Structure 1
Amino acid sequence: AQEVHCLAHGLAHCAMFCAISGNAPEHPVISTKSGHLFEQSVVEKYIESTGKCPVTGEPLEAADLLPVKVASTVKPRPLAATSIPGMLSLFQTEWDALMLETHSLKQQLETVRQELGHALYNHDAACRVIARLIKERDDARQALAEAQPSAAVAAAAVAAASAPPTSKGGEPAAKRAKAAAPAVESSAGELTPEIIASFEATSKTLSKGRKKRQPPADQTSAEALAAFGEVASEAVLPAGPVCVDVHASEPLAAAGGADGSVILFDCAKGAVGAKLAGHSKRVNAVRLHPSKPLALTCSQDKSARIWNTDGTQLHVLSHSGDVTGVTLHATGDYCVTSCSDKSWSLFDIDRGSCVLRVPDGSGGYTCAGFHPDGLILGTGVDSVVRIWDVKSQQNVASFEGHTGTVTCLAFSENGYYLATGSADTTVKMWDLRKLKNFHTIEPGAAVGGLAFDNSGLFLAVGSADTSVYDTKTWGTIKSFASGAAVSGVGFGRSAATLAATSADGILKLYGSSS
């Protein structure tokens, strides 16, 4: 301690500089460990943050600092500041330096402005290029997506044909979509080159037009649909499951009942129109032709029938089992029926003749539906959904995941998705490009009906009640209570009307009250 005191005493009589700042300290302290001199406030902050000596890096505490007592003296003024002329000269020098610095800053500011303007111009040009590239990318993706459904099922067909048989223990999980090609008997009849050419031309036209097609100007929005209320309720048929279809452009609905009767309903007047009498057992499905005054029906009496909308029966299409579904081809000239005799058949609507019958030994069909482009057919067989290439009559893909009978199915208007409803109380959404299930809706009861609107924006699900879902978010837009299990749903033109039928024989219409 005595040596440190002597050192401090000696330093008091010589020039002292802080080891950190290099300036003469006003409150000097000395490290008792290293002997270095510091400004007290500076070194204490350093020690507080690091706990070390700023020069040697050794551990150092504030208690290791020894204050140095020095005489307080007033710093002498510079010689130039001892007179008024000298101070004026200092001020002039400082002013000149300030002006030079200001001029330099102005030049730098102008340079920065020019560089900023150039950068903004480049940014704007880059944004335009990026926007153009994004548009080209989106167009390419759209074109690829439209081509993929057909390509995917074709690839699945090739894979299924070349895949070796597997043992029962090697079967994949039941809840995974997979390609499959079950044994199919020889089909009755064949598609002529003219029919195939008609199918391909229609598919090409629809696929190309769909790319640029926009929803109609009067398309109902999600907000407007959420405000829908019941506008009509009519007991049109006896109690029992009732199927329904709504015309694509006219205010007309058709419903088929458990007693075999079919009625046409005027949605504008809210009244029953023509009655189609001919079936002797439950009607399983009805379809209204979008461009001709025709109605198609199928029944458990082993027949499908083609009617004029004035009530005249035009053709009876005979089958060997219950006809469970009927669906129109995109050409409007053909229809397909599904049957419990393990076959589906293609009919010429104008002639009422069977063009093609495709038997399948795996099980009876429960429903059927055409893809919007007409080259793919979806069918339900027990709990499995099968996808068929219509031209080759090959089962090119199978979707397994339901645990109950598949009761209904519907393709989205853009052709990318397939919705399937089942007695297992679920609706499964399948991506036709990736051949897999990507979403599941659980309405809580057996599903009796499914329908996309013509824009593909909404999906209606008939179960314990009638619910409408947004196809972008799959959120519920609106649910309508029903007094009995809903057995059929359908959208009218521009989704301005929603029809639902239930097991109590009642047809309900939902729409805007204004």
Structure 2
Amino acid sequence: MNCSISGEVPEEPVVSKKTGLLFEKRLIERHISDYGKCPITGEPLSMEEIVPIKTDKIVKPRPVQAASIPGMLGMFQIEWDGLMLSNFALEQQLHTARQELSHALYQHDAACRVIARLKKERDEARSLLAQTERQIPMSALAAPEVNASALSIGKRGAADEGMGPDAKKIRRGISASIISELTDCNAALSQQRKKRQIPPKLAPVDAVERYTQLFSYPLHKTSKPGILAMDILYSKGCGPVVELPLCQGKVWLVPSMFIPYWL
């Protein structure tokens, strides 16, 4: 008879009253303490429903595999395979635990950053609220003063108007008659501008576009730039080099040297 959990011959066999299954005492005790139910059927089970079986204390026979060297090698191979599988499963669990831990650490770091930013924004909002609360009483006090001054000025102006004929009175700006005169004048000038004709001697646009430069002569030297005097016709100029160029018709005359009166 073998244990229903380990599949081996139990050293301290016990049987369940509900299911009649055989178990190893230490294994079923641990399972009931952890889960409180039968490991095979899943029904609720307690230690009061477990009955021990009395057996003779005999030496367990050696298994058939341990009777020869090839059998022992097969047992060792099976144990080694089980150990490798268990090691592989542990490595997988370790890798998964590391990934979960890394993810949790990243989440914790992001949460800390968000909390720090929210605290900073909260402090800034509190400081702005405090500044606003300090400014509100000042503005509330200033508003009645302005209203009082405006009322006092209005009363004073009314009192001044109610004084004698020599008192200063508020005068209006442009009267209605002046506005009407300005409107009539604007209408008359607009009609005159519309009736104005183009002079016949005015050069047309195409003629102006055909204009070309006939000659060019600099008025002053570049060593001492600047124009100090110029005739109203813009054909004569005087600069700091005390030379006066003259233009007669289409020919520029040789610049004449003049001594200015301020030298």
> Could you say which TM-score interval applies, normalised by the shorter chain?
0.3 to 0.5
TM norm structure 2: 0.34
Higher Cα Rg: structure 1 or 2?
Answer: 2
Comparing both structures, which one devotes a greater share of its residues to strand?
1
Higher relative contact order (CA 8 A, sep 6+): 1
TM norm structure 1: 0.20
